[in-house]
Amino acid sequence: MTAPGKPFTLNDLRTAATTKQRVAMLTCYDFTTATILESAGVPMLLVGDSASNVILGHRSTIPITLDLIMQLTAAVKRGAPRTLVMGDMPFGSYQASDAQGIENVCRMLKETNCDCVKLEAGASLVPMFARLADAGIAAVAHIGLRPQAVGLMGGYRYQGRTAAEARAIVDLAVQFSRAGAAALMLEAVPPEVGQRVVERVNIPVIGCGAGPHCHAHVVVLQDLLRHTSTQPRFVPQPSGSSLIEIARNYVTEISSGTYPQLAHCYQMVDGESRKFLSEQL
């Protein structure tokens, strides 16, 4: 992937996508864990708004503030300076206007030294992504299941269950790719949707329960360690007796293609997969 000691960058992720290498990513929220995960060879870390759940004990990602997530992101980058660190933009930090979003994204980059930012993105954010790209900012569009929108979605339900839903996700992915998104994060969709997104866009696709065709895969670290009461179906079984061993084995499972397997995948409604796959690209 990269030479020992050499930082892993967005260009390395792009290269991996074109050469069909699979890249591992984990969430991380503190300096000490970041040092361990970097030493384990995890090339990418996401400082997710999932900290609201697994660190602060909230029932959703909504309560976490921009100031707090920025402190966590800066700490992770200090702990893992050679790792690609992605800062998550929390609820309320970019929804009011493009101007608000761009200002807060710039704050995140300047004050944390993170490598890129992630925004949960509906169609209304396509123009903002074009402006971010024009400013030279690496922004990742998070589509599919968007935890910040669970109130509207009616809970944590996987997306792309029908051909129409799947088609809408693919169309949205194409819009963000054309607008200049640096990458996509695709969460909780059937593998048919993940495969079609990968086929239709020319940027890396990071899957979070999106099937084996994605270029990279991410899970919440606390889910992987079984520190949470329940885990999404796409989280693999941990292998190892220590954090560094579990992380190393996770990286190996992804790079070798042994994860994800069918058991980790969501299924489309009966008959909808055939309908969706019969549609022309």
**Rg for the chain, CA atoms, rounded:** 17
Q: Which two tokens stand for residue 231?
A: 């885990």
Region of residue 257 (left: phi > 0; alpha: psi -120 to 50; beta: else)? left
Which amino acid is present at 26?
L
What are the beta bridge partners of residue 205?
184
Contact 84, 113 (CB under 8 A): no
Which residues are the active-site residues? 187
DSSP H helices in 27-65: 31-39, 51-54
Q: What angle do CA 208, 210, 216 make, to 5 degrees?
A: 60
Q: Given CA atoms 226, 216, 54, 29 in this order, what sign does their dihedral have? A: positive
